[in-house]
Structure 1
Amino acid sequence: MTAPISAFIRAKNEERMIGDVIRAAQQVVSEVVVVDSGSTDKTIEIAEELGARVVRSPWLGGGKQKRLGEDACTHDWLLDLDADEIVAPELASEIGVLFANGAPERSVYQMMMATAPPVGAVWRDFNLVDRRKLYDRRVVRAPDHANYDQFDVPSGVSVGKLRAPLLHYSFRDLAHLEDKFTRNSAGRARNTKLKPLWLLQLRVVFGKPFYFLNQYVRRGLWRAGWYGFAVANIAAHGRWMKDALMVEIHLRNRQGRED
């Protein structure tokens, strides 16, 4: 039995997984809205065949695109999904129980995202990321920002925790992962307030080993063997690339002033 929840999904050329994402969400939500930003593959066709409502819009940026999804939903309770995130049966069941007797006690619920790598088992015990994905839009909204799309919880609002994870099929292979980190680094470098040049230069020279250790040791990627080693290296390089791109911005600005 579904709950009075609308799931919204941002998409562009996501035919690889959009059907699985929609079907998984439909285990518990009563509406799925797909915000499509110009797909040329079968994304829209698949979504509509499965009963999802498709809203077409040019890409406005992460938070702004989420706002379109929020506004298009029928219900006030929302489940925010990306086009590579699968609601596992145990998570659907837990959400269903939460709404069994009406609206839940809290206005925001967070869940852990567990990476489902292209090879091997889901990383359920390490490299977990907590995300506030289930919420009442009357209380919180996605930020009206082109790059950032995670909302801040208002003061005094208590956040509930769901035990079951959301499965994140975040990359098809290592080349895809590297491409994602490169694109994200470029966007964040452009939209982040510039730190002092000397600090960024220090990070460019010395930072990469620390970024690697953060991924490999602190986030537990060592538990994924050689594959985790490769992922940690790619993630560290992506973080380092943001620093390098911000140094480049500083140098371009200096050159512009001199010209």
Structure 2
Amino acid sequence: MVSRQGLTYMTAAPPISVFIIAHNEEDRIARAIRSVESFADEVIVVDSGSTDQTVRRAESRGARVLVNPWPGYGAQKRFAEDQCRNDWLFNLDADEAATTSLAEEIKTLAACGALERAPFWRVRIRDVFAHESGPAAWAYGYNQIRLYDRTKGRFSASPVHDTVRPPKGAAIAQLEGAMAHRSIRSVAFHVEKMNRYSTMQADDMAARGRRIGRWRLVTEFPLAFLKAYVLRRYALYGWWGLVISTNFAYTRFLRLAKTYEAELLAKSARQEPPE
């Protein structure tokens, strides 16, 4: 909305491109796309080689699907950004869905020109487990920039830490609606994810030359468990809270164990005499 000579005019609503990265998400991709259809000018899905029906189901919801071999989280999201035709972007993962209140909020902000108040907008992303229909009142979540003007800032290229990097001093606003995050299909799925993700974290630490204090091998698990059980309020889930707190702590321990293992192997290789 702009004012000239005492008169007020409506500015054109900036079109919003939505992008999603996916791999073997046939059970979740349609829900993610459906949740943003009310405000999306286009939906881009970048698939990294799914072997299930992810591509077909995304296309059936009207998304434009591109295939790009997996380069890491940040790099894949930067690739997806480049495929969008608009500068205003909204990102969600295939295991996420905008709640109805969030979708309506974004649609209203865009329609009245209020998006221009800030080039970056944070959204609260709340955990939803397989046995739940929506986030619990106490659900843990994190607050990330997911709606933004890509001419002002973009995702980092980190293979592990996929976050939007605003320039210093940039205005950042807060969306009131939340996003539902269904990251854990089952305990079996979570175990596989813990193993895969902890390997990526250990590789990232090695690439940045980070070393760990040996004492952390003793303290990491109990401290991480307490963080999850108390600070993240997983205790409120009852016995299920005990399960997810233990898994969280084990993930944190695994990345350190793998980092330490890599240090031992490197040391051993240096000490071996040449053949």
TM range (shorter): over 0.9
Secondary structure of 1:82 counterpart: coil
Contact 2:154 2:166 survives alignment (8 Å): no
Residue of structure 1 in register with 2:177 after alignment: 164
Structure 2 match to 1:67: 78
Distance 2:137 2:72 in 1: 30
Q: Which range moved further: 105-114 or 2-11?
A: 2-11
Bigger Rg, which one = 2
Partner residue of 1:118 out of 97, 105, 130: 130
The amino acid across from 2:200 in the alignment is G
Which segment drifts farther, 206-215 or 118-127?
118-127
Question: What does residue 245 of structure 2 align with?
Answer: 232
1:162 is paired with a residue of what secondary structure?
strand
Alignment of 1:136-151 (within 5 A): 136-151=149-164
**For residues 145 and 206 of structure 1, do their structure 2 counterparts lie closer, same or farther at Cα, with a shift above 3 Å needed?**
closer
Verify the 8 A CA contact 1:111 1:165 in the aligned structure 2. Answer: yes
Q: Is the 8 A contact 1:6 1:32 kept in 2?
A: yes
Q: Distance in 1 between matches of 2:265 and 2:166?
A: 37
**Structure 1 gap segments, 5+ residues each:** none
The partner residue of 1:94 within 94, 105, 114 is: 105
Give 1:210's match in structure 2, choosing from 210, 218, 223.
Answer: 223
Q: SS state of the match for residue 59, structure 1?
A: coil
For residue 199 of structure 2, what is the amino acid of its counterpart? Answer: A
For 2:96, the equivalent position in structure 1 comes to 85
- Give 4+ residue runs of structure 1 displaced > 3 Å after superposition: 193-197
Q: What is the distance in 2 between the residues matched to 1:167 and 1:126?
A: 10
1:217-256 alignment, distance < 5 Å: 217-256=230-269
TM-score (norm 1): 0.94
Contact 1:115 1:124 in 2 (8 A): no
Aligned residue for 2:89, secondary structure, equals strand
- Equivalent residue for 1:107? 119
Displacement of 1:126 in angstroms is 3.2
Following TM superposition, by how much is the alpha carbon of 1:195 offset from its aligned partner in structure 2, in angstroms? 3.9
- Cα deviation, 1:162-207, whole Å, max 9, x if unaligned, reads 111100011111221222122111101011134445x1x2111222
**Counterparts of 1:229 and 1:146 in 2: how far apart (Å)?**
30
Q: 2:146 touches 2:164 (CA, 8 Å); kept in 1? A: no
After superposition, the CA RMSD in angstroms is: 1.5
Give the Cα separation in 2 of the matches to 1:203 and 1:196.
Answer: 11
Structure 2 contact 220–252 (Cα < 8 Å) conserved: no
| Mapped contact 1:110–1:130 kept (Cα < 8 A) | yes
1:20 to 31, 37, 56: 31
> Of residues 45, 58, 83 in structure 2, which corresponds to 1:34?
45
Q: 1-side partners of 2:222 and 2:105: how far apart?
A: 40
Separation (CA, whole Å) in 2 of partners of 1:150 and 1:210:
25
Tell me the distance in 2 between the aligned counterparts of 1:15 and 1:235. 25
SS of residue paired to 1:86: strand
Q: Distance in 1 between matches of 2:269 and 2:194?
A: 28
Q: Aligned to 1:167, what secondary structure does the other structure show?
A: strand
What CA deviation, in whole Å up to 9, does each residue of 1:193-222 have, x standing for no partner? Answer: 34445x1x2111222110100111011111
Look up the SS of the partner of 1:165 in the other structure: strand
Percentage of identical aligned residues: 34
- Which residue does 2:4 correspond to in 1? none
By how many angstroms is 1:251 displaced? 0.2
> Residues 27 and 89 of structure 1 are in contact (CA less than 8 Å); yes or no, is this contact kept in structure 2?
no
